[in-house]
Amino acid sequence: MKIGLVTYTPEKVPGYEMHVYYSKWADGQAFPAAKHMQNDATCFCDAKAIREDPSIAAVSKQGAALRKNRLFNMPFDYVCPTHPQYRQKVLDYVKSLNRENIEGVTMNLYHFPDQEFCICPRCLKLWKESGLEWVDWRAKVVTEFLAEAKALTKGTFAVEMFPDPLMAKERFGIDFEAIAPLVDYFHVPLSSRDYLTNYWVDLLTRDFIKLLKKPVVVELSGEMLNDEKTDALLKTVAYLSRHDLLGVLLLVHDSENAKQIAKFAVQDSGFRNWLSRYELPEMTRIVENWEKIYKE
């Protein structure tokens, strides 16, 4: 199992083996490609584009997929996935990333906001023309979009998802079976403010490993600032290291944050004693590698 990072800055940190850079954000900011890194592109969540043209938002009978619509609990503002110009804008961005020497592209938020979406006149027309059931048509829209992005990507192609192993297709249009042939791995974000309660991380990881027909990478939030939370995060990574994962990624503020986690793992005697009591060879390998770099 590799240990890696998801970062907002295009820099690698010693001791970490996978590097994902958030290159396009849900607020609408898009940055130049980070070379030799996996570039993570938010697709249909774009608050800035919706501010400029509210008509591009995904809609339902209960209104648009926007954070300000209190009938839903939307984490972001969603563009309709069939909007032709916006769709092309995202694909052009993926193309621009691939003009640089990148490791690959990870697609994020490339799906419908939820099962009631999108009933704009264009989506209803396309659905009727397709002759498919509603759930199958939405999944086809999402899978075809990913196939177009994959065709533009020369390196590693990965997708994130909402971490719902059961209802992903009917809610978001994410058809894991159909997507699996397109991707090199699935990136499952299991974000939390802390991992002091962590049974659900292990539970969902096992579900996804069983379900997904490609390698799995799990992302945990690493933006912890106190020892108790860092200890809980590292123990959660250690438990995950027993499973057949390609990697665990830690989302961090910056490289200093990433170094602090590694230093804690190396220098905290309580954590080291805990680790030495269990048969966790993959986590032990990671910490021994960190020890070479972060001893002092």
For residues 220 and 259, give the distance between their C-alpha atoms in angstroms, rounded to a whole number.
16
Q: Are strands 247-251 and 2-7 parallel, antiparallel or unpaired?
A: parallel
User: Of 5-13, 32-40, 115-123, 215-223, which part binds Zn ion (CB under 5 A)?
Assistant: 115-123
- Site size toward Zn ion (CB under 5 A) is 4
The least CB distance from residue 84 to Zn ion, in Å, is 11
* Cβ–Cβ under 8 Å, residues 21 and 37: yes
The least CB distance from residue 122 to Zn ion, in Å, is 5
Closer to Zn ion by Cβ: residue 120 or 218: 120
Closer to Zn ion by Cβ: residue 66 or 120: 120
Closer to Zn ion by Cβ: residue 5 or 56: 56
User: Of 48-56, 77-85, 137-145, 146-154, which part binds Zn ion (CB under 5 A)?
Assistant: 77-85
The least CB distance from residue 43 to Zn ion, in Å, is 14
- Under the binding rule (CB under 5 A), the answer on residue 159 touching Zn ion is no
Closer to Zn ion by Cβ: residue 35 or 128: 128
Site string for Zn ion, 118-137 (x = CB under 5 A): x-x--x--------------
Closer to Zn ion by Cβ: residue 85 or 269: 85
Closer to Zn ion by Cβ: residue 34 or 141: 141
Site string for Zn ion, 25-64 (x = CB under 5 A): ----------------------------------------
Which residues sit at the interface with Zn ion, rule CB under 5 A? 80, 118, 120, 123
